[in-house]
Amino acid sequence: MGNHTEAKLFINGEWKARAGAPIINPADETELGIVPFATENDLAAAVEAAEIGFKTWSHTSPSRRSEIIRDAAARIRANIEIIARDMTLEQGKPLNEARNEVRRSCQVLEWDAEEGRRTYGRVIPAEQGLHNSVKHLPIGPVAAFTPWNYPLSSVARKVGGALAAGCSVVLKASEETPAAAVHLVNAFAEAGLPEGVLNLVFGNPSQISRFFIAHRVIRMLAFTGSVPVGKSLAAQAGEFMKPCLMELGGHSPVIVCDDVDPREAGIKSALAKASNAGQICTAPTRWFVAASHFEEFADQMATTARSVRIGNGLDPETQMGPLANARRIAAMQDLISDAVKKGADVLSGGERAANKGYYWPLTVLANVPDDARIMYEEPFGPVALVNPVSSVAEAVSKANSLEFGLAGYALTHSADNIAYLTDHLEVGNFAINQFVSSLPETPFGGMKDSGYGREGGTEGLLNYTITRSISHKTRSIEGSRPGLSS
């Protein structure tokens, strides 16, 4: 346990140890340490600190806020090896993926730092003597909830956007992967962020969410997680008229058209599915393949999937690490078993890879019937569902048949296909000939049950502001001939 960063609460500028629950290494199921659980007094102190911190931070100049955020990002970059190792130990992803997550997180913070200097308002033309204008002001203290699958980048998106807009934050990070949040918060403390502006707690999620949502000080909820939990939190927030930013689950379609090389597409698709062991809300999951390419594509995807090396994320040869927890193993077993019973063909994987450690091989299922649960329940793991379609229109119809609408992908070089897909695919993020659905400078979020609000881009910061309209009527001086003061 000595090689793992100790997790603590951070409230009003002070680190606090508490009793809690074990942190488990998914590669070997050993205990890494203890995550502290906040008491109700801790939660109250964190909210009080955020209230006082907001008064300071919201009146700090955007340029100074930018300096502190950029300084924190630089400190995180300098600590990349330690942070990446902690993430691999806690979550299982290969070390190089963890390093890339650290780099992306810094890019997010740096973008927000600069964009926070540009939350411009506007002047609206009016009749003489009347001056109308618009200002974007920080909404207030924000309660942010982040998941275990991307323990640093999810935190960076919420903290970066909120701080850049001038808000204070009470962060409830994942109890299963706490170290990344500890590193980020520590970087901000060392960068000179005023006390109380950023607070970190762990504990019972339902208890903490109820406390924060009901508290008069908290003005906004930012959440990344599953659809059922998101709906529950949004309903609670609605009782108190508090706005939410909801980045929820997905079941992303991939449309493979008949104008691409099916073998190249199969290789690219398998490697994309292996990223973070498929534990991504935007993970490509449902492949709808042109019937003329189906057999060749499915065969190549399965061949590539079987070649993906799974193992401990600390091993430099590992291409895909273990699943993050035992719950994901149970989910894979349950959903895949149901699909096979209903007629799906297993082309690769399909069974747990080891008795110790939460390893599951990259699995490809073909000809999956529509009534298989895995076709409409988010699997959140390394399983690809591959089915043939007769046309792009049929693919879009099947893609849109679910209430998920976070990300979608297409492999095609046809301008006509791209135009049709862009107009008809019901997703918040659409990527063509690649599997990257968001960048720091682009807005990210879903539609339908996949949530609302956006993170990233100029749109992301505006979520953390209120829009104030100002109408100022001046006293007419016509005919009054006032004298000039000397």
Neighbour-count burial of 300, counting CB atoms closer than 10 A to its CB (0-12 exposed, 13-18 middle, 19+ buried)? buried
What is the CATH classification number for the domain harbouring 187?
A: 3.40.605.10
- d(CA 172, CA 42) in angstroms, rounded, equals 12
- d(CA 166, CA 56) in angstroms, rounded, equals 9
Considering the candidates 167, 244, 257, 281, report the single residue annotated as catalytic. Answer: 281
| 128 within a domain of the structure (yes/no) | yes
- d(CA 358, CA 321) in angstroms, rounded, equals 9
User: By the 8 A CB rule, do 151 and 103 touch?
Assistant: no
Considering the candidates 115, 247, 378, 455, report the single residue annotated as catalytic. Answer: 247
Are 244 and 363 in the same domain? no
The total of structural domains in the chain comes to 2
- d(CA 202, CA 187) in angstroms, rounded, equals 18
State the average pLDDT over residues 316-341: 97
For the stretch 34-69, pLDDT in tens is: 999 999 999 999 999 999 999 999 999 999 999 999
Which stretch of DSSP H or E encloses residue 267? helix 262-274
State the average pLDDT over residues 348-352: 96
For the stretch 104-121, pLDDT in tens is: 999 999 999 999 999 999
Are 274 and 153 in the same domain? no
| 485 within a domain of the structure (yes/no) | no
- d(CA 184, CA 152) in angstroms, rounded, equals 8
Which stretch of DSSP H or E encloses residue 132? strand 130-138
Q: What is the domain range of residue 381?
A: 252-432
DSSP-assigned states of every residue in 151-209: TTHHHHHHHHHHHHHT--EEEE--SSS-HHHHHHHHHHHHTTPPTTSEEEE-S-HHHHH
Whether residue 396 has pLDDT greater than 70? yes
| 112 within a domain of the structure (yes/no) | yes
Whether residue 481 has pLDDT greater than 70? no
Are 330 and 278 in the same domain? yes
Whether residue 19 has pLDDT greater than 60? yes
Pick the closest to residue 325 from 86, 23, 85 (CA basis). Answer: 23
Mean residue pLDDT of the chain comes to 96
| 441 within a domain of the structure (yes/no) | no
Please give the DSSP secondary-structure letter assigned to residue 377: S
Whether residue 90 has pLDDT greater than 50? yes
Whether residue 486 has pLDDT greater than 80? no
Are 159 and 144 in the same domain? yes
Task: Look up the pTM and report it.
Answer: 0.94
Which residue type is seen at 326? Answer: A
| 277 within a domain of the structure (yes/no) | yes
Are 114 and 94 in the same domain? yes
| 440 within a domain of the structure (yes/no) | no
281 is catalytic: yes
For the stretch 462-477, pLDDT in tens is: 999 999 999 999 987 6
Quote the Cα angle for 439-441-446, to 5°.
Answer: 65
User: By the 8 A CB rule, do 408 and 425 touch?
Assistant: yes
Are 216 and 341 in the same domain? no
State the average pLDDT over residues 232-249: 97
For the stretch 243-295, pLDDT in tens is: 999 999 999 999 999 999 999 999 999 999 999 999 999 999 999 999 999 99
Pick the closest to residue 233 from 159, 147, 335, 330 (CA basis). Answer: 147
Collapsing DSSP states into helix, strand and coil, what is residue 286? strand
State the average pLDDT over residues 223-228: 97
State the average pLDDT over residues 138-144: 98
Are 140 and 173 in the same domain? yes
- d(CA 481, CA 309) in angstroms, rounded, equals 85
What is the CATH classification number for the domain harbouring 311?
A: 3.40.309.10
Are 160 and 274 in the same domain? no
| 224 within a domain of the structure (yes/no) | yes
Which pLDDT value is given to residue 132?
96
Are 453 and 382 in the same domain? no
For the stretch 153-199, pLDDT in tens is: 999 999 999 999 999 999 999 999 999 999 999 999 999 999 999 99
Whether residue 478 has pLDDT greater than 70? no
Confidence of residue 437 (pLDDT cuts 50, 70, 90): confident
Contacts of 307 (CB under 8 A, 6+ apart): none
Confidence of residue 309 (pLDDT cuts 50, 70, 90): very high
Are 126 and 237 in the same domain? yes
Which residue type is seen at 26? Answer: P
For the stretch 408-428, pLDDT in tens is: 999 999 999 999 999 999 999
State the average pLDDT over residues 97-101: 98
Confidence of residue 2 (pLDDT cuts 50, 70, 90): low
Whether residue 29 has pLDDT greater than 60? yes
Are 257 and 220 in the same domain? no
| 484 within a domain of the structure (yes/no) | no
Contacts of 437 (CB under 8 A, 6+ apart): 282, 407, 409, 429, 430, 431, 444
User: By the 8 A CB rule, do 116 and 66 touch?
Assistant: yes
Which pLDDT value is given to residue 290?
98
Are 219 and 280 in the same domain? no
Pairing of strands 284-290, 252-256: parallel
Collapsing DSSP states into helix, strand and coil, what is residue 108? helix
